[in-house]
Every structure is written in structure tokens, then in C-alpha cells.
Amino acid sequence: MKSKITVINFALVTIAAITTVLSAYDIVPIDGNVLLGLRWLALAGLIIYAVIKKNLTTSILVSMLVGTEIGYDFPKLGTELHFLRQIFLQMIKTVIAPLLFATLVTGIAGHSDLKQVGRMGWKSLLYFEVVTTFALIIGLLFANWFQPGAGIIPPETLNAALPKVEQKGWQEIITHSFPENIAKSIYHGEVLQIVVFSVLFGISLALLPAGKKERFVHGVELLAEVMFKFTKIIMLFAPIGVGAAIAETVGHMGIDVLRNLALLLATLYCALFVFILVVFVPVALIARIPVFKFAKTILEPVSIAFSTTSSEAALPKAMEKMEKFGVPRQIVSFVMPTGYSFNLDGSTLYLALATVFVAQATGTEMSWGQQLSMVFLLMLTSKGVAGIPRATLVILLGAIANFGMPEWPVLLIMGIDELMDMARTSVNVTGNCLATAVIARWEGELDDTKMHAEDVAEDEPVITEV
């Protein structure tokens, strides 16, 4: 049955694609309503296939196509679907704090290996800084090679509003990592503060007598299991939330938005692709991580990050997938949330590229020495922006102000920032997933049996289970 539906879907998609191309290039005139009907007929077949297969990754990918079509055919409806995206993000945010708390406390107090926490801490920070430095350097190289900002003429009127910039020194950045009120940290979604609180709580619990500690640890373990089940229920809504996010983007900006600042967009995507090839792939090979199995495992959380432009939305699913991949829970629960503040590979590459773009657009000469000093500035100021869509604009404005450059090119970047955010957020999530496997290998705790299992990336029958 599935094979027949697959063949029918392939035929419908092929017909819809060919007729759309023939009509777009005026090779064969085809009525618009006929094209609309063919596209939606092909999508209907894909939807039926996704429902029959009951695979969450398939459903998300199909929903992205449906959302694109809704935004293209019915832009007003697409922009009005933003509330579905917001519902999905808000539901995910309810899981973050209790999930991080439960998994971190269980990993630390349940194993009573406080030395491992210290080892994971310095190993993670060392790995994060090395990888993000490569990201910044690749961003600089591509910005100087492609020169996307050269020759831009400033528009006469720019009506968009820039976000407010608060300059923070390194003392404020460090101070902000520590919570003053855990309820306030949870409310504002401060992942790093939640991690610091949970680590200290887990260490304190580990120091209690065994009898008292075990009773509390057992309860926290149950909380972790409940939150993973809670995540599975929320993920049933993921295709709807993801489809709505894509529909809103296309409906608001139009399918032809790629024509605006296309060179900057292409430069970012090329730089990120090269970064994956020259950094992520060699790191995975050195750590003896099968690249294709790893890519298949993280496809679902990366697709969620791509469509919602929020690393936070992908965090619960990414943690679950990496645990199935063979990374112990205590390593996943420590490394991945920490990486959300210190391992923003895609965002740091984008910041280097965008800053040089502004310099080129405004005719500001930047020597290689100034660009390298900018790299060190961005290494500090880019921490702690994960989970907030387009928060990198604030960091970008701070870097521009530090070098005394005009701000008007940032208004141009804002026009396509959502499309750029999709790519850099996906790379952020990929980098954090890879970091957990690398640190697990470094600690000698990566489960090769799980990692090489054939069904490592298969989804559980979530719908049936619920």
C-alpha cells in the first residue's frame, strides 16, 4: 500500500513541478487555477502518505511544503497563522526548565561523580571556543571573498525600527550567567542561569547522606521521565506549528524575497555549508561518529529549528535524539544546554559576515587587524542569545557601535534576517548535538552499540503510544 502511494505521490509532484516550471518560463501557457489544483493535489497525496506512515520527521517535512504553499497562494491567511507557531513555541518553553533541572540533577546526584562535572565543564568550554573561532574566521573569509556589501547605495527612506542596544562589559556577561531568582530565570527563559542553578543543586544533593539523597533522586528521575513523555505529546503539534511558521514567513515576505540582498544570503549559506564540511565532518570523523547516521538522527530537531528559527524549540527533541544515539543522559543534559550559550556556531559565523557586510556597505575600511579584534569582541558578546529569534541583531548593532559604523545597513539585513536565521539556527542545533557526542567520546562513555544500531533515528510510534 505504501509503495503504491509513494509512486502516485512521485507522479503528482513531478507533474506539478514540470507544469509550474513550464508556466513560469512561458514555455507552455497554463491556467493559474489548473496549476493551483495540481500543486494542492500533489500536497494532498503527501499529507495522506504522512498520515499513513505516522513518522514525525516525515510529517514535519510535509508540513513545511504545505506551509510554503499556503503562504504563496494565500499570503493573508499565511500571516494570520502566526498564532499556531506561537502556541507551539510556548508549549515547548514550558518543558525547558523542568526538563533541564531533572536531567542535570539526576545526572550529577544520581552518579555522584562530581569530578566528571568539572571535566565536562572545561572540556566543553575548550571545544566550544575552538569551534566558534573557526566559525568566525570562515565568516570573515567569505565576507572578504564575496564582498556582498560592496557597491550598495543607501536607500533614501528606511522605515524599519532598530532594536535597542545595551552595551555590556565582560563583567556583566559573567554576572548574567548566575541566577538571582530561579523563578525569574524560568520566566525569562534564561537557559544558562537554569543550568547553573541545576548544577549547584545537583552537587548539593550529591553531598547529602545516601539514604536522603536516593529518595529525592528517585523523584527527580520520575520528573525527567514525565517531561520526556510531555515532550512527545507536544511534538504531536509540531507539524502544525512548523507549517504555520513557514506559511507566516512566505506570506509576510513573499516567495520572491530571495531576490532581495541575494548575494548576502547566498554568502551566508555557502559559508555555513563550508563550515559544516571543513569543521563538523572532520570533528565527527576524528571522534569516530558515523556522519550519515548522525545526520539522520538530528534531522527532526534541525527541521524544527529551521522552520521556527528558535534553538529552544528544538532543545527537548535534540536531547532525546542524542540520548538514543548513545550519549549518556548526564552528558547530554550538561553539554547541550551549556552549548546553547557558548556554542552558537551558526550565529557567530553570521555575526562576522554581517559586520564586514556593514563595513563594505558604508565604505568603512577595516584592516585584518581590526577584523581579528572584532572576532574577539564577538566571541564575548555572542554568548547567551540562543532561543531568541533574531537576537543576533542586537549583538550586531553592539559590534557596529563599537567600531563607529553607521547603522542603516542593518535595516537592510532585517529584510531577510528571518531567512538567514533559519540557516544559522539549524547550524547552532547541529553543532550542539555534535558537541554532546564529541564530549561523550572524549569521556569514553559514547555507546557504540546504540550509535551503530539500525533503528537509531527511527521515531517511536508516538501517536499510538499517546
pLDDT band at 465 (very low <50, low <70, confident <90, very high): low
Query: Which comes out higher in pLDDT, residue 389 or 12?
Result: 12
| pLDDT value at residue 220 | 86
What are the backbone dihedrals phi and psi of residue 260, each rounded to the nearest 5 degrees, phi first?
A: -80, 125
pLDDT band at 387 (very low <50, low <70, confident <90, very high): very low
Alpha carbon distances (Å) from 367 to 144, 150, 258, 271, 401: 11, 16, 31, 21, 17
CA pair distance 155, 157, nearest whole angstrom: 6
CA pair distance 426, 162, nearest whole angstrom: 25
Helix (H, G, I), strand (E, B) or coil at 159: coil
Map out the domains of the chain as residue ranges. 2-80, 111-166+231-238+257-465
Closest to 102 measured CA to CA, from 230, 198, 186: 198
Q: How many CB atoms lie within 10 A of CB 376?
A: 11
Cβ contact 462:312 at 8 Å:
no
Indicate the residue type of 285.
L
| pLDDT value at residue 257 | 43
Indicate the residue type of 260.
N
Here the cell at position 459 is 521515531
462, burial (CB in 10 Å: exposed 0-12, middle 13-18, buried 19+):
middle
- In the block, cell 503527501 appears at 46
What does the pLDDT look like over 404-421, one tens digit per residue? 777 777 766 765 677 788
What does the pLDDT look like over 252-289, one tens digit per residue? 766 554 444 567 788 888 999 999 999 999 999 999 99
CA pair distance 193, 13, nearest whole angstrom: 47
Q: How is residue 156 annotated by DSSP?
A: S
Closest to 362 measured CA to CA, from 149, 142, 148, 139: 149
| pLDDT value at residue 280 | 95
What does the pLDDT look like over 326-370, one tens digit per residue? 999 888 888 888 787 678 888 888 888 888 888 888 788 877 877
| pLDDT value at residue 196 | 83
Cβ neighbors of 441 (< 8 A, separation 6 or more) are 287, 288, 289
Angle, helix 408-442 to helix 114-146, in steps of 10 degrees: 140
What does the pLDDT look like over 168-216, one tens digit per residue? 556 776 777 788 888 888 887 777 788 788 888 888 888 888 788 888 8
Query: Which comes out higher in pLDDT, residue 352 or 228?
Result: 352
Q: Is the pLDDT of residue 10 over 60?
A: yes
Q: Is the pLDDT of residue 380 over 90?
A: no
What does the pLDDT look like over 75-120, one tens digit per residue? 888 888 888 888 887 887 788 788 878 877 877 776 556 677 778 8
Q: Which of 146-155, 216-225, 296-305 has the lowest mean pLDDT?
A: 146-155
- What's the average model confidence in pLDDT over 6-12? 74
Here the cell at position 112 is 555522584
| pLDDT value at residue 207 | 84
* DSSP code string of 251-303: HHH-GGGGGTTHHHHHHHHHHHHHHIIIIIHHHHHHTT--HHHHHHHTHHHHH
- In the block, cell 567520546 appears at 441
| pLDDT value at residue 170 | 60
Here the cell at position 314 is 528544538
What does the pLDDT look like over 294-329, one tens digit per residue? 999 999 899 888 888 778 788 888 988 999 999 998
pLDDT band at 291 (very low <50, low <70, confident <90, very high): very high
Closest to 431 measured CA to CA, from 280, 327, 318, 294: 280
Q: Is the pLDDT of residue 164 over 80?
A: no
Alpha carbon distances (Å) from 362 to 313, 357, 359, 408: 36, 9, 5, 9
Cα 196 vs. chain centroid, distance in angstroms?
22
Cβ contact 325:450 at 8 Å:
yes
Cα 198 vs. chain centroid, distance in angstroms?
23
| pLDDT value at residue 302 | 92
Q: Is the pLDDT of residue 157 over 60?
A: no
| pLDDT value at residue 388 | 45
3-state secondary structure 348-376: HHHHHHHHHHHHHHCCCCCCHHHHHHHHH
Here the cell at position 21 is 516550471
What does the pLDDT look like over 22-38, one tens digit per residue? 776 667 777 778 788 88
CATH architecture observed for domain 111-166+231-238+257-465: Orthogonal Bundle (1.10)
| pLDDT value at residue 258 | 40
Cα 358 vs. chain centroid, distance in angstroms?
24
| CA–CA–CA angle 350, 354, 359 (5° rounding) | 155
pLDDT band at 158 (very low <50, low <70, confident <90, very high): very low
Helix (H, G, I), strand (E, B) or coil at 394: helix
CA pair distance 39, 19, nearest whole angstrom: 9
Q: Which of 45-54, 168-177, 241-250 has the lowest mean pLDDT?
A: 168-177
pLDDT band at 457 (very low <50, low <70, confident <90, very high): very low
